[in-house]
Homo-oligomer: A and B are copies of this chain.
Amino acid sequence: MSPPHVLILGGGFAGIYAAKALRKAPVQVTVLDRRNHHLFQPMLYQVATAGLNPSDIASPIRSILRGSDNTEVLLAEAEAIDVAQREVRLGDGTAISYDYLIVGTGARHSYFGRDEWEPLAPGLKSLEDALEIRRRVLLAFERAEREKDPVRRHAFLTFVIVGGGPTGVEMAGAVAEIRRYALRRDFRHIDPAEATVMLLEGGPRLLPSYPESLSTEAKRELRRLGVEVRTETLVTDIRPGWVCAAGWTIPTQTVVWAAGNTASPLLKSLGTPLDRMGRAIVEPDCTIPGHPEVFVLGDAAHFEPPGGGTLPGISPVAIQMGEYAARTIEGDLAGRPRRAFSYWDKGQLAVIGRGRAVADIWKLHFGGFLAWLVWIFVHVFFLIGFRNRVLVLLQWAWSYVTYRRGARLITEEVRPPVASS
């Protein structure tokens, strides 16, 4: 009899950690992803702001799992899950059957039903997203340099980031820094330091999942970098050339969306209840009701811990869930009863700029340079693959000393800017 087949959808944190933990288990593992690389998403904003290269924060899934002899990696797109037949249908019409299914398909940005905003305000989830945002930010400075009309020039030099969660805070800080330091001497007709960076948050404070003192700290640090932070400012419309928020109109050519997430549409085919964000509502063992062989993990899961609320969509949750699912499958095969998943909260970190961050670790709340150092070490430590760690540290050290950013490339031909209205 052949060993049970564990099919893992998605090579993100949940999927990779599950596959790694199953390395020695008596199972056959397949990891399926439509991209060939695992992405260290928490640092994606560094690619979007020209601080790091794509390959610094991404590794081929095959090479991460090359030591797992029971594991196969497939580059393919899952179209639907058939829990009754226990199979996953692929984009090319074929199907793969499973004994256990682990769904770690992550999330995309959500525009709250205003999908027409997407081309005007791209979000930040994939390498392609990051390269597109990098292209737009760098091109905006280029166009401002050539623009004679001061009103239009000002719009090119206005960067609006929508959403005050960790991604929005990190993006705003990073754009404020390249404007002030990296690009300082590059232009002749504009002063990049005069560019406006706005961070718009609909709720009452930044970093709503953090303790309130850190929200205040983050706001203060961002203001020190010259970011205009506006809370209670809901975006009501985005059009080519401007953003409408809280009753006024901001002329801008560059908008980044960091305001909302929605889980992968693939989950709909599970036929299980989903929450408002499209996540599958899972049992205490991270499986869907009636299907103990189907795990849904990470950003795709709506998990209610005993204390109430839901677990946030951050990488430590996904990693712990991935390892938990692997342990549970091994336990099943060994005939051990299942235990509920419990999340060990090690804290949260957000970086604001060069030498500035806020941290909430084991009930300690702190900001400034120390938090930033902790952030660097935690993030570099988790970067998968030794080569990346060393190169990323070197690149940061270099850019810290010189204030320069190395990956300032606009790839793709010059396109006309989004027309101003």
Q: Which of A138-153 contact B (CB under 8 A)?
A: 138-139, 142, 145-146
Cβ contacts under 8 Å, A60 to chain B: 186, 408-409
Cβ contacts under 8 Å, A391 to chain B: 391, 394-395, 406
27 residue pairs of the A-B complex, CB under 8 angstroms, read: A35-B414, A37-B410, A53-B54, A53-B56, A53-B407, A54-B409, A54-B411, A55-B409, A60-B186, A60-B409, A62-B186, A66-B186, A73-B186, A73-B188, A74-B145, A75-B146, A77-B414, A91-B414, A128-B411, A131-B411, A387-B395, A387-B402, A387-B404, A388-B406, A390-B394, A390-B398, A391-B406
Q: Which of A37, A62, A66 is most buried by chain B, counting CB atoms within 10 A of its CB?
A: A62
> CA separation between A37 and B405, bound complex, in Å?
13
- Cβ of A413 < 8 Å from any Cβ of B? yes
Given contacts A387-B404, A398-B387, contact A34 B414 (CB under 8 A): yes
Contacts A35-B413, A54-B409, A391-B395 known; 18 new A-B pairs at CB < 8 A: A35-B410, A35-B414, A36-B408, A53-B407, A55-B407, A60-B408, A62-B186, A63-B404, A72-B189, A74-B146, A75-B146, A91-B414, A128-B411, A387-B404, A387-B406, A390-B394, A391-B391, A391-B406
Interchain residue pairs A-B with the least CB separation, the first 6: A62-B186, A55-B407, A53-B53, A75-B142, A36-B410, A60-B408
> CA separation between A72 and B145, bound complex, in Å?
10
Interface string of A58-92 (1 = CB under 8 A from B): 10101100100000111111000000000000010
> CA separation between A216 and B74, bound complex, in Å?
41
Name the prevailing secondary structure of the A interface residues. Answer: mixed
B408 & A63 in contact (Cβ 8 Å cutoff): yes
- Cβ of A412 < 8 Å from any Cβ of B? yes
Interface string of A28-40 (1 = CB under 8 A from B): 0000001111000
Of the residues B37, B145, B390, B402, contact of A409 by C-beta under 8 Å: B37
- Cβ of A7 < 8 Å from any Cβ of B? no
Q: Which residues of A contact B (CB under 8 A)?
A: 34-37, 53-56, 58, 60, 62-63, 66, 72-77, 91, 127-128, 131, 138-139, 142, 145-146, 185-189, 387-388, 390-391, 394-395, 398, 402, 404, 406-414
B411 & A185 in contact (Cβ 8 Å cutoff): no
Interchain nearest-CB distance for A93 vs B (Å) = 12
> CA separation between A54 and B131, bound complex, in Å?
12
Cβ contacts under 8 Å, A406 to chain B: 55, 387-388, 391
Interchain nearest-CB distance for A142 vs B (Å) = 4
B411 & A127 in contact (Cβ 8 Å cutoff): yes
Closest B-chain residue to A126, C-beta based? Answer: B411
Interchain nearest-CB distance for A184 vs B (Å) = 9
Cβ contacts under 8 Å, A58 to chain B: 409
Cβ contacts under 8 Å, A185 to chain B: 66
Q: Which of A56, A139, A411 is most buried by chain B, counting CB atoms within 10 A of its CB?
A: A411
> CA separation between A55 and B408, bound complex, in Å?
8
> CA separation between A62 and B408, bound complex, in Å?
10
Closest B-chain residue to A395, C-beta based? Answer: B391
